[in-house]
Each structure stands twice: as C-alpha cells, then as structure tokens.
Amino acid sequence: MTDKLRLALVQMHINAGDPDDNFARLERLLEDAARAEPKPDVVLVPEMWNTGYALDRIQQLADPAGRRTKAFVSAFCRRHGVNVIAGSIAELQDGGGVTNTVHGFDREGNEIAEYAKIHLFKLMDEHLHLEAGERPGRFALEGVPAGVMICYDIRFPELARRLALDGAKVLFVPAEWPHPRLHHWRTLLQARAIENQMYVVACNRVGVSGETHFFGHSMVVDPWGEIVAEAGEEETILTAEIDLTLTDEVRSRIPVFDDRRPSVYE
C-alpha cells in the first residue's frame, strides 16, 4: 500500500452534446497532465464529461456500455503508466437506460472502479432521463481503500460515511457544480472530509452550458478539513500531493468511529 499520491485534477470545459469535441479536449488535457513533473500517480476528471447535460438527447449521445470511454482511458493509462478516475460519463445500458457512471483504471489499464450515481438531481431533471445506481463506489487504488461519489451525492452524508466505515482513506468526487452555490460546494466537501476523517479530492468543470455557469474551484481537502489545493474558475490542471498516513493519524487522535452509537440513530 502506498502512503503518498500525487494528484492531477483536470478542470475542463465541457461542450454539451458534442462527445467528439469533449474526447479531443480531454485527450489533450490528459496528455498535459501526464507530461507534468513530477508525474501524477492519479488523474481525476469531471462529471458527465463526454456529453455534458444534453439530457434531451442523452440516449443518442451516451456511450454504449462505456466502450469508447473504456478503450480510450485504458490505452492512455497503459501508455503513460498512471491511474485515472475517468470522471463520469453518460453511459447507455443494454436495456436502453442511461446512467451517470464513473470508470477508474490502474497504471496497466485494468478497470478498478465502476460507480453509477445513486442520487439524481431533480432540479436538473436527471430523474427524468437517467437511471440511478444502487451500489456505493468502493474500490482500491494501489492498495489504498478509496471511494467515489458524484456531484449531488455529497449532499448525502450517509453515503460518504458508509464508504469511510468500509475503510476509505480518500474520496474522489467528479462534479458539474454551478453558480451560485460555491459556498455549498466548499462547505460540503470540507464537511465530508472532517466528519469522515479522510481526504476528499473533487474535480469540477468550468464554462457555460445554456444559462448555467460552472465555477470550477476543484479542490483537495485533507482529513482535518483543510484545503490543500484549490483551482480558480479557468480551465486548468490542479496538482497536489497527499500523505495518506494523515488519515490514520486523525482517526487515532479523534476516534469518532469508535464512539458512534448506531443503535440510537439507525
């Protein structure tokens, strides 16, 4: 198990309804991230990067079984020897439904994570166009227990706690989180880190889609709730290094998991 991870968060603009453009943009940014010195161990990408929120056409635009995405990201990982948590994509399922799904790959291009968004955001009509996932996003990254949630999921502390109780030391969060809710974004990410005593690594998109403005501010939060790194509102690659031994230290100093009383509140 590794103690330290170098991170690269690809804070990108997404062209709603144009997967070809988005694949080309992401390829360029991934290549930039992989060439950085020091080289990242893991790269994180935003939510729904292949299609954006073109929900009125999502069945036509979604990646069938995620095949295009899996082939593209797996080949990139093998070529550069990095792990990639490939944000989330609109993925067309065999039954005709579409899910908002994360795929993660290791340095050899093997798939290590798959998670479909559990909580659908009704204010953006997700529930009318997408199918909800049913399983928490647990996985291991180079031997490190990890979890993944998507955007709106961070408003549900019980899901993050479930992942933490299962041992997650780091939580990855791809998102498309818009103005004017920057304060919510920062506060919720810090809260999930503090209450679960784990790193939270969150990658948000930038740019404008229709009348919605996305503010970026991708960030890395440590288990004390301190912001280790935070981007601005432009397309960029945010980098940081995290020391996972801090998770164990914080959990030993304030043993909240040991002091839980689930029989009272569950």
| Residue 151 among the catalytic residues | yes
pLDDT score of 163 more than 90: yes
The pLDDT value recorded for residue 123 is 84
pLDDT score of 1 more than 80: no
H helices present in 224-261, as ranges: 245-253
Q: From CA 210, how far away is CA 227, in angstroms rounded? A: 31
Domain boundaries, the chain: 4-265
| Residue 117 among the catalytic residues | yes
List, in sequence order, every beta strand (DSSP E) within 66-110: 83-92, 98-105
Q: What tens digit of pLDDT does each residue of 211-239 get?
A: 899 999 999 999 999 999 999 999 999 99
Which one of 70, 151, 169, 203 is the catalytic residue?
A: 151
Which one of 70, 91, 117, 176 is the catalytic residue?
A: 117
End-to-end CA distance of the chain: 33
As assigned by CATH, the class of the 4-265 domain is alpha beta
Q: What tens digit of pLDDT does each residue of 37-59 get?
A: 999 999 999 999 999 999 999 99
The residues facing 173 across adjacent strands are: 202
**pLDDT > 70: percent of the chain:** 100
The pLDDT value recorded for residue 2 is 81
Three-state DSSP state, 45 = coil
Q: Which whole number is the average pLDDT over 90-97?
A: 96
Q: Which whole number is the average pLDDT over 80-107?
A: 97
How would residue 165 be classed by pLDDT, with cut points 50, 70 and 90?
very high
The pLDDT value recorded for residue 226 is 98
| Residue 47 among the catalytic residues | yes
Q: Which whole number is the average pLDDT over 80-84?
A: 98
H helices present in 81-234, as ranges: 126-129, 157-165, 182-196
The pLDDT value recorded for residue 71 is 98
pLDDT score of 266 more than 90: no
**pLDDT > 90: percent of the chain:** 96
Q: Which whole number is the average pLDDT over 146-172?
A: 98
Question: Which H/E stretch holds residue 133?
Answer: none
What is the Cα 181 distance to its own chain's centre?
Answer: 18
What is the model's pTM? Answer: 0.97
More confident residue, 125 or 151: 151
